[in-house]
Structure 1
Amino acid sequence: MVPGYREVRQLGAGRTGRVFLATYQQTGAYVAIKYLNATLRRDTEFMDRYRADTHELVEIDDPNVVKLYEYVETQARAAIVMELVDGITLRTLLTEHRRISPEAALAVLKSTLLALGAAHERGVPHRDVKPDNILVQADGTAKLADFGVVVHAEEPGVPAGSPEYMAPELWTQGRAGPPADVYAAACVLFEAARGRPPYRAYKEGENGELDVPALRDEHLVEPVPVEVAPDTLRDLLRRGLAKDPALRYASARQFAAELEEDAVAAYGPDWEKRGRRHLAELATLLALRFPLARTDHAATAASRIRDRMPRVPRLPPHLWVAGATVVAVAISLMMSGGRLPPGPGAILMPPPETQSVQEPTPADATTPGPARSSAAPRRTTAGPTPAPPPRSASPPLPTARRSSAPVPVVHAAGIVQWSGTAGAIQVSAGGTGPVRLRISYTRRDGDAGAARTVRRESRTLRGRTAYTSTVAHDHGGVACGRRAYVGILVMTEPAASNGP
């Protein structure tokens, strides 16, 4: 247990360690804590390097990088406290959907390359870029995680890393660095668009075990299989997967810049928006696997619904889906119920204008980081992070200057709570002028077909630069043994900057 944090539950475990959902006790902010496994802790070369890397990693504040808050080490354990990303890995998404559109693959790669660029500029290579370490959020944005956490292969003579994504120089010299990260990122682009890594080799039999020596040879000598990739990606893949590091892109940022040029030329200036929208749609279908999908509130609501509806098949609890400019959240109606208290500094809005209509649904949710903490043996920490505002009554909205304030820039909009019947929307703006919220409540009965809009309302926010607005709607009942999905979709005028 890391001092200052309360662990909620285990999120997962793998070759490098275990990850827990936790809260920072001073503020209640969610974080993820990863405990490195004993094999890594006994590797003195790895530990020396990783300690040095963490001093740089805690200083990186980039939207494409999973933020590292603290590294804590004792004789018994080593733990990384980091930003909780409420989303799924690209690996999970590809396992479920096999491949994604070229625009979506390019959007993921762009985020990954920008994350690598931020780390490389501080002298920290990733060393293990792969879909398992790329997290896709509900708004379609992606973040790169697990910098420097790489394990040695079980076979002798094989360097540390994941064989499907290892550059030729790693196989021959074990030399990790930015060029090897660029190569691995290009492998991810190929797999995202094609449905498999560029090189693969398996041992005979039905267990699907990798044939590592054969895979090594393919990375070293086989031509880049660009002919099976989408036409628009071939030039990027040909250079990104070059055998000679000197023939690859000079840096991750150069790769990202040329990706942008090629994407605009092939798909137009809105390519990234469409790519992120596609990612959001796919992530939405898996939102019950998000870390915050299982909460105490959802469990309580679920038990109340089960009391009212016996014999309904058990479903996973809380489904979050959100996105900005257009923000959406959905939840299985069987598992919904209960009202949410207003969030910090909540502004209770006047009765909204409402109407009924028809229209469908897509997807964000980012968790705030903890404020800086002290104590614990060997501890590397990030700089102070502002704590959430206190829970106090908000002053009444000013009315005298409603017409004089200019229309502000909307920096961000997001659905921060949604139980299926009630929730909260947060908006931050660059001025006190009016921001229009348009809210649609949707419902889809059964697992097929489109969602329909059952109610629409609008409201105007003004007089502040940060708002928390509560929403509520009763979607009605569900026949015994049937399933329905209810959602909320939010649009802002002006459009929010964090929209897809």
Structure 2
Amino acid sequence: MTNAPADPMIGRLIDGRYQVRSRIARGGMATVYLATDLRLERRVAIKIMHGHLADDNTFKTRFVQEARSAARLAHPNVVNVYDQGQDADSAYLVMEYLPGITLRELLKDYQKLTPEQTTDIMDAVLAGLAAAHQSGIVHRDVKPENVLLADDGRIKLGDFGLARAASANTATGQALLGTIAYLSPELVTRGVADARSDLYAVGIMMYEMLTGEQPFVGEAPMQIAYQHANEQVPPPSAKDPSLPIEFDELVLWATARDPEDRPADARQLLERLREIEGSVRGGEPAGSTRVLERLPEGAAAPTASIAETAVLGTRSAAPAAEPEDDAARLTRTAERRTRRGTWIFALVVLLIALAGGTGWYFGAGPGAFAEVPKVTGLPANAEQQLVDAGFVVQNGERHDPKVPEGQVSGTDPAAGEQARRGGTVQLFVSLGARILPVPDAVGMTEEQARDTLSDFAVAEKPDRRFTDDVEAGNVIAVLDENGEPLGAEYPELGAITLAVSAGPIPDTWNESADSAAAILDEAGLKSAVVDEVFDNSGKVAAGAVLEWWPENDGVVRPGDTIDLRLSKGQNLVPLPDVVGKKMQDAVAELREAGFNPVYQFPDALLGIANVKSMDPAGGGDQTAVEGSDVTLVGTLDL
């Protein structure tokens, strides 16, 4: 027994950015791999078109067009499309990676789901589908395999917009059976589809989730297709009488044989699902809100007033003195004069000493003034310099946008000022710049933005960029010192740069090469012709600009180069005659010849249909524009 050959894509670097890690799944038109986006350092799912389709230009064109349509969808219930491109001969599509399982895997494990589970999943599927229908996108391949149930509880609908491209290939085997089971009657009989065809598939999927089986089964695709075209889908309660009757209404409405009797789009069906949700859940609302009341704060205790009473004492009267004679009075007066002279002398001596002490105190002692030394920018332990200068240091902290955190940001009194020796000088250690909220300046004029962002250091020279989204002269983004968009907060006086719009890149489509160069030069851009290709649309004359794009495929600034692709006109190739051949063979022959066959039959019926006529006619010397549509009219060989 030999081992299967290793997948050559494992380990390959796609487009210099996506490192392929492992294979996730393989389908009829592409293989999905787990990869790492080396630029953004995140896991992604990358769908790479099969190699045998590389020569089918029509298929590749549709793959790209539909991928771009899917990328325009931004909804929580739709798998995000990040990127699309071409690597070697294969087109690829980069999508959001969701670890988890599909609804098909869930049904295999549990056979059927509860009404509540069905409601939750269908709510998410219809919400994503409604966003697609609102954008004019028809899914065309709604089935459990394309409903993703992520490990974190998210529910998303995948493969948006790719069903049209997938119809270019004929599905066989189990893949065909899986698609046939969800085909609407109009797809089976007329090969046409719109939003109501998606809802038919939703109704079939809802029936399967509730009952555990599909409404129509058969051994061959033709048997299943015949039932879709000729029979009405039964109500789920006919299979399981315990199911809520409300689901019968939803399923029968979505799967009505006549598209006119179905909801116009997914939004209508979603609204009806949400109306019956309370009944399905036993009358309980889908969600509730609890209001937490905050208890009132207690009143502050009253402060008692204190009255103070001053008690005044009474002084007793002194006893009256005895009368004295003249001799005693003279003696007492002499003694009083002697004491007064002594006191005057002592007072003079004291005043002289006090004056000398005061002079020393304010001249050389503790009361002298000194200059506060400069310690700004020194480490936090710089207080010793202030102590040596004769000051008492009091430590403090404050924010400073210019002095790094942990260094001295200043003193009070400031450096160079006079302060009394022995006095207190406050030493401030920097806490770094204040972190300020960043005002929203996007969309403002450059002058308005500079006024709004005055708390920051705005670079004098803006970063001018070309963009279609913002008017010339207005701000596109506010960038930090590394050139990245600012967050919600930024340091005070932090360096920022304004990205300012230079207006849109001038449109040079269908202009001659010389005219395009002149237009771009006037806008401050350079140009370079990179190649010439056929333009089978017939809209661009030979020698005129068919496509243009920035050389660096990123931000475009004045002085950058715009690459130009010129038209070589239309490419006419021989058109074969396929009238009378099997539809399946005719389709293959036309594709091989470089044309796009258009027919009104599902792929499942191509093997039993014959070509009755073709437009334009082929054979002989007949030629047509390569890649153009060839309409085939056929009949069923039943």
Q: TM-score, with normalisation over the residues of structure 1?
A: 0.50
The structure having more radius of gyration, on CA atoms, is 2
Q: TM-score, with normalisation over the residues of structure 2?
A: 0.39
